[in-house]
């Protein structure tokens, strides 16, 4: 199974179970060493005799995988034959990914302050993930042999990339609210965010660093009267 397929599956599902009505986050944070519980289930079994098997066998590719929590993966694969067809699982996956994509739709705001408050919350969430699981976090430095690097790779896909995409859409929809300097900082953020996302899927050189001036603009707008 290629790493790129794993990242694409995790990113497009926002790291949550695709069973309708479940939406469970596929990482557990009960201890200082988080547990990845998500399971990448084959829509068509890899073995011809497996669940939803096919004489040719299913491929280890994004197109033939669905992200599930352990409970629903077991329920689906242990159910009587034809209870959950390949077409059903594919439909779940498509609808779940569509719901994740719909979450990127951005509201329009009537004031800079309202916009800034919304963006600031997303930035705080990103910063929290970075401080807790990123390569410069205290936990990563204290225990280099932990699984935090794996968790960090997935947190980028299920939290930071979606939040960045929301911010990009907010900037574009609400561009008239920015003054010239603020919009220049916002455009710098867009370049950073899009490069960051590309780098999550395939190593990319020269990705711009997070522009501190954008955070300063958002903080200034949020506190302005």
Dihedral angle of Cα 16, 18, 23, 25, to the nearest 10 degrees: -20
Residue 30's pLDDT is: 64
Q: Are residues 116 and 94 located together in one domain of the fold? A: no
Q: Are residues 117 and 200 located together in one domain of the fold? A: yes
| Mean pLDDT value across the chain | 91
Burial class (CB in 10 A: 0-12, 13-18, 19+), 140: middle
Residue ending a domain, choose from 77, 102, 127: 102
Instruction: Answer yes or no: is 88 within a domain.
Output: yes
Residue 35's pLDDT is: 86
Residue 216's pLDDT is: 98
- Encode pLDDT of 174-217 as tens digits: 999 999 999 999 999 999 999 999 999 888 888 999 999 999 99
Q: Are residues 132 and 71 located together in one domain of the fold? A: no
Say how far apart CA 9 and CA 1 lie, in whole Å: 12
Instruction: Answer yes or no: is 13 within a domain.
Output: yes
Residue ending a domain, choose from 75, 102, 129: 102
Say how far apart CA 17 and CA 92 lie, in whole Å: 10
- How many domains is the chain built from? 2
Residue 103's pLDDT is: 80
Can you tell me the mean pLDDT for 134-145?
A: 76
Say how far apart CA 177 and CA 194 lie, in whole Å: 22
Instruction: Answer yes or no: is 150 within a domain.
Output: yes
Residue ending a domain, choose from 102, 125, 150: 102
Instruction: Answer yes or no: is 65 within a domain.
Output: yes
Residue that is written with structure tokens 């990242």 in the block: 7
Q: Are residues 63 and 164 located together in one domain of the fold? A: no
Q: Are residues 119 and 181 located together in one domain of the fold? A: yes
Out of 79-88, 91-100, 136-145, 172-181, least confident range: 136-145
Q: Which domain holds residue 131?
A: 112-223
Q: Are residues 9 and 78 located together in one domain of the fold? A: yes
Instruction: Answer yes or no: is 25 within a domain.
Output: yes
Q: Are residues 22 and 44 located together in one domain of the fold? A: yes
Q: Are residues 38 and 71 located together in one domain of the fold? A: yes
Q: Quote the pTM value.
A: 0.80
Say how far apart CA 56 and CA 53 lie, in whole Å: 8
Q: Are residues 70 and 93 located together in one domain of the fold? A: yes
| pLDDT surpassing 90 at residue 9 | yes
Q: Are residues 38 and 137 located together in one domain of the fold? A: no
- Encode pLDDT of 97-112 as tens digits: 999 988 888 899 999 9
C-alpha closest to that of 104 among 36, 58, 173: 173
Q: Are residues 97 and 158 located together in one domain of the fold? A: no
Residue 84's pLDDT is: 93
Contacts of 90 (CB under 8 A, 6+ apart): 43, 66
Instruction: Answer yes or no: is 107 within a domain.
Output: no
Q: Are residues 31 and 81 located together in one domain of the fold? A: yes
């Amino acid at each position: 199974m290629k790493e790129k397929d794993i990242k694409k599956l995790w990113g497009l599902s926002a790291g949550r179970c695709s069973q309708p009505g479940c939406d469970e986050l596929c990482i557990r944070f009960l201890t200082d060493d988080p547990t990845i519980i998500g399971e990448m289930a084959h829509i068509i079994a890899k073995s011809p005799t497996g669940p939803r098997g096919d004489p040719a066998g299913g491929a280890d590719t994004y197109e033939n995988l669905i992200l599930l929590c352990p409970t629903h993966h077991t329920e689906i694969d242990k159910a009587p034959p034809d209870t959950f067809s390949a077409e059903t699982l594919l439909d779940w996956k498509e609808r779940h990914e569509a719901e994740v994509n719909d979450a990127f739709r951005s509201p329009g705001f009537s004031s800079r302050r309202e916009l800034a408050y919304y963006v600031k919350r997303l930035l705080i969430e990103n910063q929290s993930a970075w401080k807790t699981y990123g390569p410069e976090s205290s936990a990563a430095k204290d225990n280099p042999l932990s699984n935090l690097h794996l968790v960090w790779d997935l947190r980028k896909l299920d939290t930071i990339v979606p939040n960045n995409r929301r911010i990009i859409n907010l900037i574009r929809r609400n561009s008239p609210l920015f003054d010239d300097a603020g919009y220049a900082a916002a455009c710098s953020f867009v370049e950073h965010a899009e490069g960051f996302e590309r780098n999550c899927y395939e190593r990319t050189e020269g990705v711009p660093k997070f522009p501190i001036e954008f955070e300063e603009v958002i903080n200034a707008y949020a506190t302005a009267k």
